[in-house]
Structure formats: structure tokens, C-alpha cells
Structure 1
């Protein structure tokens, strides 16, 4: 026998998690007439009373995800008074987490949306860093939150990815004497750029090790000290022209350099 049931989905946030769960449960009761009605961002007792009034005169269930303690208590109390079935879809699991972590939940609505937004911003920044790595697609420099410049092997790429995981869209441009920098590099504010320098001796060691890892053991201009001195002088001239902050990465781990960049980024208003 087919019955018509109205499910009132009530939340002090968007109610998306309750909506998905209700649909999952509904799929197990095929052939039944189930109507869903949403009440999102419920913030006070009057709005809760409106739901109670509707549910009172229909075969219904109130399914809710409410984290605000006073609202949750009020709904539970009113539903019991009116003989309405109200199902708390969050509190049992919240209680288990609270017990395991030995702490009380924040009870702030809308946190899952904030987490989702953070996640997608991070993914967007990572995709940006990959797309605009090593001077690719110079047109993207204007869209970057931050642009790293420096000679080869100054950790531009790993720094770009590290910063991307902090939701900062980072591009990087290699400075090579034989290849002029893209014009876009000089059209963005110098404050949005960070120059990376390194001592000649340290870069010489890094490049020699790089060549060894590639199986190239003979002499190579790439790792010669004269070549390195030429590149570093050229790079510093470009950085002065841009007018950007310069960081010496010689004896710094990626995390240390990134912390310096993040400090600059935050102090200077996200390089706006």
C-alpha cells in the first residue's frame, strides 16, 4: 500500500548532508510517495515553529542537521510535545567523535561548506602551479597571486607546489641569459614577485649532483662556475629591474623559504 510521507529537512546551514542521506534512504523504499521539503539556514524559534506547524498536520518526519544547541533543544522539545517524529542525523556521530577526541564540538553551522571551499581553492591553486610551471603560458602571470623568479635549481617548482597547497596560485619563471623574460613579468607589480638567489658554490654542488643523477659525468657548461656566475649576475639584474623582494635559498629547506614568502605575503596584504 502506497503512503505519502513528507520529509522536512531542517538545518541551520545549507542542509546538503541531510539531503543526500535522506535521498539514500528513500532509494530503499521504491514505490512510496515521499515528498521532500527543505528549510535551510534556520536561525530562530519562529522559523522552527513554522516547520512544526506544517509537520503537525501531515504524515511527516523532520530530519535535521542542527549544531546550534539551543535550536536543537527547542526542536526536540516541540516535536515531542506535538507528537512529531524528529530525527537528529548528526548528534549520535558527533557524540562518538567528542568522546574519542575528549573535546566538545565547536557547534558552528556551515563548517562543511568552508572545508569544501578550502579544498577546491587548494585544487585550483595546484592546477595553476602545474600549468604555469617553469615559464609556461606567460599570459598566466597576470592571474597569479605570486610569481617566483630565479635561475635553474633554486627550488622554484617545489616552492610553487608548497605554496599552492596553501591556496596561493603561484607561477614561476626561469631566468636564463639567452632567453629574454616574458614581457608580462615586467607588467605585474614587483611586490607580487619573489626573487630566489643562491651562492655560486652551493648551486655548483647542486648542479653537479643533478648531472650525476642523470648519468652525465663529463664536463658540462650547466655546472661550470663561470656559467653559474654569469646566470646569477643576469638574474639579479632582472630582479632589480622588477623591484621584487629577494630571498637567499642557499642553506634553507623548502619549508623555511616558504615560511619567509608566506610572511611577506601576509604582511603585504596578499600582494594586492
Structure 2
């Protein structure tokens, strides 16, 4: 038997030699779906061992032609998850000429879901991978929000997409987590008169910062409820109106120095404030 070697888009060399039957997997993406299905199917044949040759990122007819030739030489078969019609048709035509068996893994499901939705599929390669990438970006943003919550590490301010600043109980943490689910990396810094704001805050571009303010009476009510939840007396300095006014005055000075937009969160749900922040973020050229 003639040995044929050729390279995939990843630079790997695929051979047509194996002691087991060979199944060639053609995909216009990574090819993990095809491999999973093939291995699951092969397991139904007494654990039937097959040699899988995965050829990912197929975007031209030459690779298809090479694969068909290799499959013909080894009396193997081809399975594919390509969604581009032109490449599908070319593969089926070439495989038919060479008498190579071919299995369309995605086709029946696309047809079935197309009937369900009553519309044609996009037929764009790599959409699942993009969804996976969106998921991992979301996870990364959530981990970022947790790590740089409440000013824990000022170094995160320079890596954040958005920095929220304001006094305690202005919804900085809930906003950070909500925005993280939109794949935005958010850090937040509590502003307290006795604690100097970190120098990194003044190094962040003003358009990336959002100042949060709130009505003093509403903040007083929120803090009183917080103290009750903690089993503490509502007379603590934390809920003292004079103290609250002092904090808000200090916060206003810092926000003015930063030069960032200000949002009054009084009587606003987290979702409402987040939507305002997202609008500011988009106008500033931020990408979700």
C-alpha cells in the first residue's frame, strides 16, 4: 500500500497507515463534535477500535481531495461536520467517484431543526466555538469581578474594562457581577474619607470610570437595614446621617478629580443602573 502524508491546518502530519480501520473526520471548525460522535458510535461495536484522523479547519477543495484519496487507499470512511454547502457537495461528489463511504453528521440535525424553526441555517463555520468562547469570556469576567471587588487589589483597576467608585451600599458589587455576566471586566473601589483612594484610580482613563452616588436619606435607610441584618444597633456610626453626608462629600471630590460620569442610583434597580453603564460603555467604544 502506498503511504500518503499530508499536513492539516494545524501543521500536523496525517498518514494513511494504521492497524485499525481508519475514519477521516473533516470539519470546518475544530472537529471535536465529529470525533465525539464517531467514538460514541464505535463503542457500540464491542468497543471496536478505529483510527481517527481528524482534519480541522477545512476551507478548500484540495484538503478534501487529499482526504478522499487517503480514504480510498485504506478502504476507510469519511465523516464530516462541514456546513458550507459548496464544500459538502464537492466532498460527496469526490467520495462517490472514489467509492468512499461518507457520513454527514450535522446534516440530519440541521434539517430537523430547520423544520422546527421554519428557516434555513446560517451555514457559518465555527459558531459553536464562538459560543464556547463567549462562555469562557463570561467566566473570566466573573472571576475578575470577584478578585477585584471592594478595592482588594488596586492593580486590577488598570486591567478593568470599567471601574465603579462610590461609598458603601451604592450597589458596586451587584453591578460588578451583573456586568460580568455581560462579559465585561469590572473592578470597584469603595470611597471612605479615612482611606486615600489608590493612585491607580487616577491612572485609569476617565471614560472607563463610573461614579455612583445616592440620596442621603435612602442611603441611611439602606444602611440601617444592613445593620439590623447583622444584628447591630442602627445607631452605629455607619448609619449616622452626619457620617453619610461626610462620605458623600468626600466621594464627590474624588469623582470630580477622576472626571468620570456620575450615576445617581437612588431608587434604581441594579438592572436599570447596569443598562445606563452599558450605554456609556458602548458610546465610549467599549466592546462586549
Is the structural similarity TM-score above 0.5?
A: yes
After superposing the two structures, state which structure 1 stretch, 14-23 or 153-162, moved more: 14-23
Q: How does 1:119-134 map to 2 (within 5 A)?
A: 119-134=135-150
- Partner residue of 2:232 out of 216, 219, 228: 216
After superposing the two structures, state which structure 1 stretch, 145-154 or 208-217, moved more: 208-217
Residue 6 (structure 1) aligns with: 22
Q: TM-score, normalised by structure 1?
A: 0.91
- Distance in 2 (CA, whole Å) between partners of 1:49 and 1:240 is 65
After superposing the two structures, state which structure 1 stretch, 110-119 or 203-212, moved more: 203-212
Residue 70 (structure 1) aligns with: 86
Deviation at 1:29, TM superposition (A): 5.3
Deviation at 1:133, TM superposition (A): 0.6
After superposing the two structures, state which structure 1 stretch, 244-253 or 52-61, moved more: 52-61
Q: 5+ residue gaps in structure 2?
A: 1-17
Residue 138 (structure 1) aligns with: 154
Contact 2:24 2:76 in 1 (8 A): yes
Residue 180 (structure 1) aligns with: 196
Residue 13 (structure 2) aligns with: none
Residue 10 (structure 2) aligns with: none
Contact 1:125 1:169 in 2 (8 A): yes
Deviation at 1:65, TM superposition (A): 0.4
Deviation at 1:127, TM superposition (A): 0.3
Contact 2:228 2:234 in 1 (8 A): no
Residue 38 (structure 2) aligns with: 22
Residue 259 (structure 1) aligns with: 275
- Distance in 2 (CA, whole Å) between partners of 1:178 and 1:31 is 69
Deviation at 1:22, TM superposition (A): 2.6
- Partner residue of 1:171 out of 187, 193, 203: 187
Residue 152 (structure 1) aligns with: 168
Deviation at 1:6, TM superposition (A): 1.7
Q: How does 1:14-93 map to 2 (within 5 A)?
A: 14-27=30-43, 34-93=50-109
Deviation at 1:224, TM superposition (A): 1.8
The 3 A distance-change label for structure 1 pair 13 and 214 is same
Matched pairs, number: 270
Matched, 1:109 2:120: no
* Partner secondary structure for residue 116 of structure 2: helix
The 3 A distance-change label for structure 1 pair 3 and 32 is farther
Contact 1:154 1:197 in 2 (8 A): yes
Contact 2:42 2:49 in 1 (8 A): no
* Partner secondary structure for residue 149 of structure 1: strand
Matched, 1:118 2:134: yes
- Distance in 1 (CA, whole Å) between partners of 2:285 and 2:243 is 38
